[in-house]
Amino acid sequence: MLAGGGLAENTSMESEAIDPDDYPSRPSAIFEVEIHDNLVRRCPWGQRMSRVRSWSGPDGNSPDFHLIFGPVPGVNGYLQIVGGSGNSFKLAPATGEAIAEHVATGECSYVDLAAFGITRFAEKRAFRGGYQMHIIG
């Protein structure tokens, strides 16, 4: 089982500037206890599990915690899928298909790439949802 997140991580993401060259290679003991408690609360059978390994590192996320996805204005032929933090992993099949369609045809038939484009921040179109991390919903 792979787990991450937590209150300590969410707080640090919103309040600390991360130096990627000086980041601890392991999570703190407080973080590991929080994650263990969260897992056991959701999956009581996890009480018997032991940690095999852990690691830590900065994660890329956009200001609204959603993917920056699609063409980059002024950079001909460059497409990006960045800044989605934990969402990127879950959305990889759909984003891969969308980008493949865009590369093959010049458009995407089922995702409005402009909605996820880098220009949304300058245009004040950042996503705002009802959840703590502003995830759409």
The pLDDT of residue 137 is: 46
Q: Do 82 and 113 belong together in one domain?
A: yes
Does residue 128 fall inside a structural domain?
no
51 or 6, greater pLDDT: 51
Do residue 34 and residue 77 come from a single domain? no
- The string over 19-58, giving b where at least 16 C-beta atoms fall within 10 Å of a residue's C-beta and e elsewhere, is eeeeeeeebeeebeebbbebbeeeeeeeeeeeeeeeeeee
**Is residue 27 in some structural domain?**
yes
Average pLDDT on 95-101 reads: 91
Shared-domain flag, residues 73 and 117: yes
- Cα–Cα distance between 86 and 66 in angstroms, integer? 9
Interval 14-62: pLDDT, tens: 556 777 788 777 888 888 888 888 888 888 988 888 888 887 777 777 8
Q: Does some domain include residue 105?
A: yes
Q: How far does Cα 121 stand from its chain's mean position?
A: 17
- Does some domain include residue 135? no
pLDDT at 13 over 80: no
My answer on whether 44 and 75 are in the same domain is no
- Which domain covers residue 34, as residue numbers? 7-48
Domain total in the chain: 2
72 in the same domain as 30: no
* Nearest in space to 59 (alpha carbons), one of 121, 116, 132, 133: 133
Of the listed ranges 9-18, 31-40, 108-117, the least confidently predicted one is 9-18
